[in-house]
């Protein structure tokens, strides 16, 4: 029989991560010790309290049913977390919905709000799941470049009026993946005003909200006056609480928007495994303790990689948070060719910036997912790259 993919499958192009892994494994087979900084998958284990609750709850006989839109316990834990951390009051029943990881929520959300041909404002570079969700809904992305002159924040003033009038959704990610830029209150005030003027829904991806290394935590978009009228925030427990494989996240914000997402999700899934939600609630209840340990570790990693790359002549995007380092290497070579050349020469695995958008050409993304010693080793190895091989 003839088996062909649907036309929509063209949206989901093969990711480069498989090729990076294959190249890395081939190098490893030759006895080279790798430093893999490609995937943003936390290397730290979940807190012991969280693991214990998951184990205990999984052993119970009555925890294997459907959970639908999320358990009351989980939703209340999210609301309490937001109240403590950002001073935001959320209704657990109407302004919170649990999703199976933020990837699932991000890819499906445009289906709830966008019609064929609607414009979605997104950044360039941007996390790759945004484009997949936009195209799955039949919408059209309009890319806002992230550049140094604007502090790597999108410039809303540069969006033409005819584009803004057609836009249905604006997606932001601060601090972001791959660029860990941090907004201030003035920027979010401008976002709210822009959204109200053009009747645009705002989705802020706050996946890295607990990754800050100096000063106060990043501002929650929903703490901005008027934000609850125009938008939502999505966050997962994958990064901040090392629960990546557990696949649990939430969307919070405007009650009518959440109602629409609930209607969509009632046709897609029956909720995350109950014991995972109990463990996630425990993580949120103990967020201050758990995330402080995370910040202590990642702050040290961030410093070693930022300073080390700068010292060997790389141009590193300034950042005080996030899970990644975004850097421009000092060689004239295509970034996709470059990352494979680096694997071959010194066993350091990175992601080429161009997979995140055209503004990422000539950059690489390095994840802070190895201990300090391994990151220092990566810098030492990168300093030995043979420049003649890059020409």
As to burial, measured by CB atoms within 10 angstroms (0-12 exposed, 13-18 middle, 19+ buried), residue 326 is buried
What is the count of structural domains for the chain?
A: 2
Q: Please say whether the beta carbons of 99 and 119 come within 8 A.
A: no
Q: Is residue 391 part of a domain?
A: no
Assess whether 60 and 134 both reside in one domain: yes
Tokens representing 113 are 């709000």
Assess whether 258 and 374 both reside in one domain: no
Among 286, 250, 283, 274, which residue's Cα sits nearest to residue 56?
274
Assess whether 174 and 257 both reside in one domain: yes
Predicted TM-score of the model (pTM): 0.94
Q: Is residue 2 part of a domain?
A: no
Give the model's pLDDT for residue 14. 78
Give the model's pLDDT for residue 388. 46
Give the model's pLDDT for residue 390. 43
User: For the domain that residue 193 is a member of, what is the CATH number?
Assistant: 3.40.640.10
* DSSP one-letter code for 23: H
Q: Is residue 1 part of a domain?
A: no
Angstrom distance (rounded) from CA 34 to CA 32: 6
Residue 51 parent element (H or E)? helix 48-58
Q: How far is CA 305 from CA 97, 165, 192, 345, 352, in A?
A: 37, 42, 35, 19, 17
Give the model's pLDDT for residue 30. 84
Assess whether 115 and 262 both reside in one domain: yes
User: For the domain that residue 351 is a member of, what is the CATH number?
Assistant: 3.90.1150.10
Among 229, 159, 156, which residue's Cα sits nearest to residue 199?
229
Is the preceding peptide bond at 244 cis, omega within 30 degrees of 0? no
Q: Could you state, in chain order, the average pLDDT of each consecutive group of 10 residues for the chain (391 residues)?
A: 90 84 87 90 94 97 91 97 96 97 95 97 96 95 95 96 96 94 93 98 95 84 97 95 95 98 94 96 96 93 96 94 95 94 94 96 96 96 74 43
Domain that holds residue 25: 7-45+289-385
Q: What is the largest CA-CA distance in the chain?
A: 64
Is the preceding peptide bond at 158 cis, omega within 30 degrees of 0? no
Assess whether 146 and 253 both reside in one domain: yes
Q: Is residue 313 part of a domain?
A: yes
């Amino acid at each position: 029989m003839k088996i062909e993919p649907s036309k929509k499958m063209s949206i989901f192009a093969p990711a480069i991560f498989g090729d990076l892994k294959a190249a890395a494994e081939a190098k490893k087979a030759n006895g080279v010790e790798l430093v893999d900084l490609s995937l943003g998958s936390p290397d730290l284990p979940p807190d012991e309290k969280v693991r214990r609750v998951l184990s205990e709850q999984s052993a119970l006989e009555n925890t294997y049913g459907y959970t639908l839109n999320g358990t009351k316990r989980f939703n209340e834990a999210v609301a309490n977390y937001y109240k403590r951390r950002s001073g935001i009051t959320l209704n657990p029943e109407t302004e919170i919905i649990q999703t199976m990881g933020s990837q699932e929520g991000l890819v499906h959300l445009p289906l709830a709000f966008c019609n064929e041909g609607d414009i979605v404002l997104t950044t360039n570079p941007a996390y790759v799941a945004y484009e997949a969700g936009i195209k799955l809904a039949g919408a059209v992305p309009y890319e806002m470049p992230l550049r140094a002159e604007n502090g790597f924040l999108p410039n809303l003033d540069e969006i033409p009026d005819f584009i803004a009038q057609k836009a249905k959704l604006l997606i932001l990610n601060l601090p972001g993946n791959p660029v860990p830029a941090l907004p201030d209150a003035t920027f979010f005030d401008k976002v709210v005003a822009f959204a109200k003027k053009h009747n645009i829904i705002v989705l802020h991806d706050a996946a890295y909200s607990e990754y800050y290394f100096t000063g106060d935590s990043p501002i929650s978009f929903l703490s901005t006056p008027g934000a609850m009228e125009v938008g939502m925030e999505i966050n997962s427990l994958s990064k901040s609480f090392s629960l990546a494989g557990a696949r649990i996240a939430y969307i919070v914000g405007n009650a009518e928007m959440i109602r629409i997402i609930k209607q969509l999700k009632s046709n897609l899934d029956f909720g995350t495994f109950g014991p995972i939600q109990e463990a996630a609630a425990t993580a949120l209840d103990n967020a201050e303790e758990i995330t402080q340990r995370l910040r202590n570790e990642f702050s040290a990693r961030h410093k070693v990689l930022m300073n080390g790359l700068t010292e060997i002549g790389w141009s590193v995007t300034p950042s005080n948070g996030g899970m990644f380092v975004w850097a421009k290497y000092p060689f004239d070579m295509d970034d996709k060719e470059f990352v494979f050349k680096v694997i071959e020469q010194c066993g350091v695995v990175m992601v080429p910036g161009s997979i995140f958008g055209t503004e990422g050409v000539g950059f690489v993304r390095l994840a802070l997912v190895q201990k300090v010693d391994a990151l220092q080793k990566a810098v030492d190895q990168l300093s030995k790259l043979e420049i003649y091989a890059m020409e």
